Amino acid sequence: MEQTLKNLEAQALKDLEKVTSMPELETLELQYLGRKDGSVTNIMKSLKDLPASQKPIIGPLANKTKTIIEYAFENKRKSFEEADLTKQLSKEFFDTTIPSKIREIGHIHPLSQVQEEVERIFSQMGFSIMDGPEVESEYYNFESLNVPKDHPARDMQDTFFIQEKDDPKHGRMVLRTQTSPVQVRTMEKYGAPLRVIVPGRTFRYEATDASHDTTFYQVEGLLIDKDISLAHLKGIMKEFLSRLFGKDVVVRFRPGYFPFVEPGLELDFSCLLCDGKGCRVCKHSGWVEFMGAGMVHENVLKAGGVDSKIYQGWAFGFGLTRLVMMKYKIDDIRLLLGGDLRFNKQF
Ligand code: PHE
């Protein structure tokens, strides 16, 4: 039996060497490995008739022979397939001179570019960057900011309400109309002292035109510490705007009303175009309106869990979208989120 196996193996390898085509290979494979009547298959089937003492010796030998033969067939098949492929490729024409496709590389949107710049400058002055939810509760967007339900100050901002179950504690859900709710969220989370800015997307139920869109970006600022006054705010904003525009900017305060600050104010900066002399852009006033701000209202500190007897601070909010428009002299707000590549590619 051992001899039979050896002979079979030698014969198979010899036969294989003579094979020159795929059909020949397939016929020969049937002869040796065919399920029904292949010589290898037959031997494997006959193993069960061997005397019990022979089985452990012949069994493994037979298996080894079978594996060697199968492997040899497999190799031969592969060599035919490879030869086939080479032939096919050599027939095809491959033009190595065709210019390759140019892959377009995108770039950062102007809104994000300016946001990064704002974050960089405030980080240098020790501010952290915070984030908050765009779908906000009425509580955080209004109540916690000292704007009770039914208070006329609610009408200062037209709000998108979400059709969702009211939060039992925090009222209806709204698309936040301002980044100010993150003031209270940050105080709740980190306590005082604090020094943060919050760039983010905000939403209002506006009739859109060249200067109003339903979606725009704001940057909130909040500084809470001991012995803080509006002088600090003036200093920080002057420094921020001067670094941003790369030239010395003058700022001024005017009285303003926001329910969550007391006193409240508006901050203007000197017109960059005419250096405060008066031109068309600043409507001949020499000043550009920039943001709302003020000392954080006691009720807001309370909502944030900050002890107003020890700490006080100021907050501000400016329109990042408006800042981008000023910086690049964009005269229609709708261009910024319109997704028109002819516009976006200019920055
Ligand atoms: N949240 C105000 C607005 O959207 C701006 C503001 C922020 C005013 C912080 C005062 C203090 O108009």
Same domain for 134 and 17: no
pLDDT computed for residue 269 by the predictor: 95
- Ligand 1, atom 4: closest residue by C-alpha: 178
Any atom of ligand 1 within 6 Å of the Cβ of 141: no
What is the band of 105 on the pLDDT scale with cuts at 50, 70, 90? confident
Let me know if residue 253 belongs to a domain. yes
Give the whole-angstrom CA distance, residue 109 versus residue 217. 13
What string of DSSP letters covers 269-287?
A: EE-TTTTTS--TTTTTSSE
Let me know if residue 254 belongs to a domain. yes
Any atom of ligand 1 within 6 Å of the Cβ of 293: yes
Same domain for 39 and 158: no
Tell me the mean pLDDT in the region 57-71. 92
Let me know if residue 96 belongs to a domain. no
Give the whole-angstrom CA distance, residue 309 versus residue 303. 14
Same domain for 174 and 83: no
What is the band of 154 on the pLDDT scale with cuts at 50, 70, 90? confident
Neighbours of 11 (CB within 10 A): 13
Boundaries of domain holding 6: 2-91
Beta carbons of 72 and 13 less than 8 angstroms apart: yes
- Ligand 1, atom 5: closest residue by C-alpha: 317
- Residue 69 CA to ligand 1 center (angstroms) comes to 83
pLDDT computed for residue 87 by the predictor: 87
Q: What is the Cα gyration radius of the chain?
A: 39
Residue 345 has pLDDT above 80, yes or no: yes
Average predicted confidence (pLDDT) for the chain: 93
Same domain for 120 and 226: yes
Q: Is 126 helix (H, G, I), strand (E, B) or coil?
A: coil
pLDDT computed for residue 152 by the predictor: 82
What string of DSSP letters covers 204-240?
A: -----BTTB-SEEEEEEEEEEESS--HHHHHHHHHHH
Q: Which residues pair with 198 in a beta bridge?
A: 220
Let me know if residue 103 belongs to a domain. no
- Residue 96 CA to ligand 1 center (angstroms) comes to 62
- Could you report the per-residue pLDDT of 173-195, keeping only the tens digit for each? 999 999 999 999 999 999 999 99
Q: How many residues does the chain have?
A: 347
Tell me the mean pLDDT in the region 12-17. 92
Q: How many domains does the chain have?
A: 2
pLDDT computed for residue 248 by the predictor: 94
Same domain for 210 and 82: no
- What's the order of all strands across the beta sheet hosting 128-129? 128-129, 194-203, 215-225, 312-319, 287-296, 261-270, 251-255
Same domain for 159 and 78: no
Of 91, 121, 142, which one is at a domain's C-terminal end? 91
Beta carbons of 132 and 185 less than 8 angstroms apart: yes
Q: Ligand 1, from 157, 178, 186: best to mutate by most atoms within 8 Å of Cβ? A: 178
Any atom of ligand 1 within 6 Å of the Cβ of 318: no
Give the whole-angstrom CA distance, residue 44 versus residue 46. 5
Give the whole-angstrom CA distance, residue 9 versus residue 72. 10
Any atom of ligand 1 within 6 Å of the Cβ of 294: yes
Q: Ligand 1, from 141, 145, 180: best to mutate by most atoms within 8 Å of Cβ? A: 180
Token digits for 339? 């997704």
Same domain for 125 and 41: no
pLDDT computed for residue 189 by the predictor: 98
Sign of CA dihedral 317, 320, 322, 323: positive
What is the band of 96 on the pLDDT scale with cuts at 50, 70, 90? confident
Same domain for 174 and 86: no
- Residue 265 CA to ligand 1 center (angstroms) comes to 10
Of 64, 91, 118, which one is at a domain's C-terminal end? 91
Sign of CA dihedral 111, 113, 114, 115: positive
Same domain for 153 and 14: no
Give the whole-angstrom CA distance, residue 249 versus residue 319. 18
What CATH number is attached to the domain comprising 165?
3.30.930.10
